[in-house]
Amino acid sequence: MKNHHLIHLYNRVGFGILPKEVQKLNKLSTEENVKLLFKKSKKRKSIKVDVSSIEKVGLSIEDKNERRKLQQKENRRLLNKLNVKWFDQLYTSETLLHDKMRLFWANHFVCSSNSTIQTIEYLSVIEKHALGNFKDFVVAISKNPMMIRYLNNQQNKKKHPNENYARELMELFTLGVGNYTEKDIKESARAFTGWFSSKNGFTFKSKFHDFESKTFLGKTGDFDGTDIINIILEQEQCSLFISEKIYKEFVNPKPNQKHIKKMAKVFRKNYEIADLMKFVLTADWFYDDENIGVKIKSPVELLVSIHNVIPYEFKRERYFQYLQFNLGQKLLYPPNVAGWPGDKQWIDANTIMLRLKLASSIAQQKQIELEPESAFEDDFETINKRKKNKAYFIFTTLDWQAFDYKTIGTKNKDWQDALLGTKLNKQTQEIINPLINNSTKDFCIAIMSIPEYQMC
């Protein structure tokens, strides 16, 4: 497999690839490399934290409101721990394709909660179905307590249907805007009545379910939520909608309808996500020059790709939370039900400056000025105190020994190819040429500080 194709593959299904891995894997064919990625992704790992402390907090306090406040504070602390756990797993991932798919689906079936327990259950659904059957996935996410509460299906009862979930199911999760009617939304909402959540998870309460006949997307019957999902998946538009989202995330932000139609045909056979991804990753057009180096790295991709080169840790966990906030993407905290828009939306006047100096600041342990995120603070007194001094700085510890090991048997040109994955324009190459004889450490820091490194 050609080096630049291998680098492109790992930029899309992972967080880049280092020169030693390129040297080892370029001996395999495209099909063999893709097969290896799928094989490794079967050994997926759950993202969890110990939640026993939530019940223990405030046990000695009689006042229910005070006890609830303490438990909310503990939930915030544990959600931050869960956020870090997710990153730690990405840093050391052996299941790259699965991990990348989990990030994709978490930004597709979007929801959030201040409950750590519900968040872990939600991540478990994403983990189980990330490369599984899409129909099973939609049914499972529709029954997930966090999703039910996030989109108000807990209030969806016969004679008083709540349309929030029914609307987003079609608009954001399966069909896309304009491929259903307002009547379809109303009828679908009736079908999902009685789909509630409890402490034990999903529960169906028949007394709140509308058992009368419904007409949805041209079909009539005594439908429930599962029936609605089955009818949606019968629509050709569903396979096209999901295929386009996959294409824009893994191939090119600019959709190619010819290729998307081919993807949808494969996907529509049985809605197996793994079959769709195998088709995409082994397609000749996936490796076309027009698809290489055209995607802006998300903040998560940027942070993990830097860590893969120079392993780092933040001396204070809070600073890592602030950094994510300033970069514009904090895992577990999507901006809304539509998720992060991605692509060019990752870059603005503030984030581009932070992005360009991030690698050098981490590697050289420089200070980075950050704005705090008040949502993470404990009370108004703390917020007001910190408003007086808004400058926050990141301090890191680095594992240069691990970096030195990665450089054995490699040249700076190998690192340039692996880190950038695409040819540079003449002006940028002229800037880099004088640095080629620098130490590999300094050379990598320089490469990760140029605009081209923001792309993958």
Q: d(Cα 311, Cα 22) in Å, to the nearest integer?
A: 19
Q: d(Cα 359, Cα 297) in Å, to the nearest integer?
A: 14
Residue 199 has pLDDT above 90, yes or no: no
Q: d(Cα 10, Cα 100) in Å, to the nearest integer?
A: 10
Residue 227 has pLDDT above 50, yes or no: yes
Q: d(Cα 323, Cα 308) in Å, to the nearest integer?
A: 18
Average per-residue pLDDT for the chain: 94
- Per mean pLDDT, which range of 355-359, 369-373, 450-454 is the poorest? 369-373
414 vs 60, higher pLDDT: 414
Residue 321 has pLDDT above 80, yes or no: yes
Average pLDDT of span 39-63? 90
Long-range contacts of 346-355 (CB under 8 A, 24+ apart): 346/296, 346/297, 346/298, 346/299, 347/296, 347/454, 350/326, 351/326, 351/327, 352/454, 354/326, 354/327, 355/302, 355/327, 355/454
Average pLDDT of span 140-150? 98
Average pLDDT of span 146-169? 98
Residue 375 has pLDDT above 90, yes or no: no
Q: d(Cα 334, Cα 231) in Å, to the nearest integer?
A: 29
The conformation of residue 368, written as its DSSP 8-state character, comes to -
Q: pLDDT, tens digit, for every residue of 158-194?
A: 999 999 999 999 999 999 999 999 999 999 999 999 9
From residue 356, alpha-carbon distances to 299, 341, 352, 454 in Å are 12, 21, 6, 8
User: Is the CA virtual torsion 421, 423, 429, 434 positive or negative?
Assistant: positive
Residue 223 has pLDDT above 60, yes or no: yes
Q: pLDDT value at position 377? A: 47
Q: What are the two backbone dihedrals, phi and then psi, of residue 36, each rounded to the nearest 5 degrees?
A: -65, -40
Q: pLDDT, tens digit, for every residue of 57-104?
A: 878 788 889 989 999 999 999 999 999 999 999 999 999 999 999 999
3-state percent breakdown (helix, strand, coil) of the chain, nearest 5: 60, 5, 35
Do 410 and 439 form a contact (C-beta atoms < 8 A)?
Answer: no
Q: pLDDT value at position 58? A: 74
What is the pTM (predicted TM-score) of this model? 0.95
The structural domains of the chain, with segments of one domain joined by +, span: 299-454
As given in the structure block, the two tokens for residue 296 are: 């802006």
Residue 308 has pLDDT above 90, yes or no: yes
Q: What are the two backbone dihedrals, phi and then psi, of residue 17, each rounded to the nearest 5 degrees?
A: -145, 145
Query: Nearest Cα to 353, choosing from 369, 341, 373, 338?
Result: 369
